[in-house]
Amino acid sequence: MAKLIVFGAGGKAGRRVVAEAVTRGHEVTAVVRDPAKHADLQQAGVRLVAGDVTEVKSVAAAAAGHDAALSTVFRLDADPAEFYTAAAKALAAGLAEAGVERLVTVGVGTALEVAPGVAVHDSAEFPAEYRSFSVGHSSEIAVFDGSGLDWAVVTPPPAVLDDKAERTGNYRSGGTSVLPAQDGDAVFSYADLAVALVDEAADPKHHREVVAVSGV
């Protein structure tokens, strides 16, 4: 079993990742800004710690001794380009300092392509008010690409994920484009996104690339 560290463990995706990893028997360090606000994450197999994903030393101190890292951080109260670039830089440098080579992060679905070289957020019908978040979030990719990390950006569909749906354990994966809908497709769930994320952290299949995931 692996030792995994999850940055952003207090969010919807992060909580699901922690639960998924623990269920599989992995040892998990859950990193949040304020552990007092997330005491419910403390359980058998989980070490809950305070950390700042935008600070190199904080990332390095928390990540030491782990086999792989996952980042599910999500911020709407900060400039997206500044936050996600800073987080990516701190993760790249901090994980390198800690000797952790593997990083799996959650991508933003609106940065996936709908045509070669055309992201969802660049399409004519995409709401302008949401574009800065999508572009800012995806700024992390250039940082990772220039690092020595073995990274994968696991990216769900460009839709609101289902926080209530039960885990099926099944998902499809593809390249950098939005995966085509299938008959009977349901909205993708946080629970199955967590399955894909933990799969990539514990048994990597994609290296230094963006990979789209969706329901079966």
**What mean pLDDT, rounded, does the chain reach?**
95
Radius of gyration of the chain (CA): 16
Per-residue pLDDT band for 197 (boundaries 50, 70, 90) equals very high
Q: Which residues pair with 173 in a beta bridge?
A: 213
Write the CA distances from 156 to 21, 60, 121, integer angstroms.
19, 28, 14
Closest CA to 98 of 59, 130, 125: 59
Percent of the residues in the chain that have a pLDDT greater than 70, as a whole number: 98
Assigned CATH topology for domain 3-214 = Rossmann fold (3.40.50)
Per-residue pLDDT band for 216 (boundaries 50, 70, 90) equals confident
Q: What digits encode the pLDDT tens for the residues 66-108?
A: 999 999 999 999 999 999 999 999 999 999 999 999 999 999 9
**Strands 113-115 and 118-119, how do they pair?**
antiparallel
Q: What digits encode the pLDDT tens for the residues 139-192?
A: 999 999 999 999 999 999 999 999 999 999 999 999 999 998 776 566 799 999
Specify the pLDDT at position 20: 98
- Token pair for 63: 């990540």
Decide if pLDDT at 8 tops 80. yes
Name which of 114-118, 124-128, 134-138, 184-188 the model is least confident about. Answer: 184-188
**Strands 102-106 and 150-155, how do they pair?**
parallel
